[in-house]
Amino acid sequence: MMNTIDLKGKKALVTGGSQGIGAAICRKLAACGADVIVNYYRNKEKAALLASDIKSEFGVNAWICYANVATSSDVADLFTFMDGKTGGIDILVNNAGAETVTHVLDMTEEEWDRVININLKGPWLCAQQAGRRMEKTGGGVIINISSIHDVVPRKGLVHYCASKAGLKMMTKCLSLELVDKNIRVVSVAPGAIYTEMNREEISKFGVDKFEKWIPSGNIGEVGDVANAVAFLASGLSSYIHGADLYIDGGYMNNTIQYDPRPPRKND
pLDDT of 33 above 90: yes
How far CA 60 is from CA of 31, 64, 253, in Å, comes to: 8, 14, 39
Rounded to an integer, the average pLDDT of 122-140 is: 98
pLDDT of 64 above 60: yes
Residue type at position 127:
A
Mean pLDDT score of the chain, rounded to an integer? 95
State the Cα–Cα distance between residues 39 and 46, nearest whole angstrom: 11
Considering only CA atoms, which of 174, 141, 147, 186 is closest in space to residue 163? 147
Q: Which of 40, 41, 66, 160 is catalytic?
A: 160
The answer to whether residue 40 is catalytic is no
Q: Which range is least confidently modeled, 214-223, 225-234, 255-264?
A: 255-264
What whole-number percentage of the chain has pLDDT above 90? 86
Rounded to an integer, the average pLDDT of 229-236 is: 98
Q: What is the pLDDT of residues 80-111, one digit of tens each?
A: 999 999 999 999 999 999 999 999 999 999 99
Show me where the domains of the chain are located: 11-254
**pLDDT of 2:** 43
CATH class, domain 11-254, is alpha beta
Q: Which range is least confidently modeled, 115-124, 183-192, 201-210, 243-252?
A: 201-210
Burial 208-217, CB ≥16 within 10 A → b, else e: eebeebbeee
pLDDT of 130 above 70: yes
Q: What is the pLDDT of residues 104-121, one digit of tens each?
A: 999 999 999 999 999 999
Tell me the pLDDT band of 264, cut-offs 50, 70 and 90. Answer: confident
Tell me the pLDDT band of 258, cut-offs 50, 70 and 90. Answer: confident
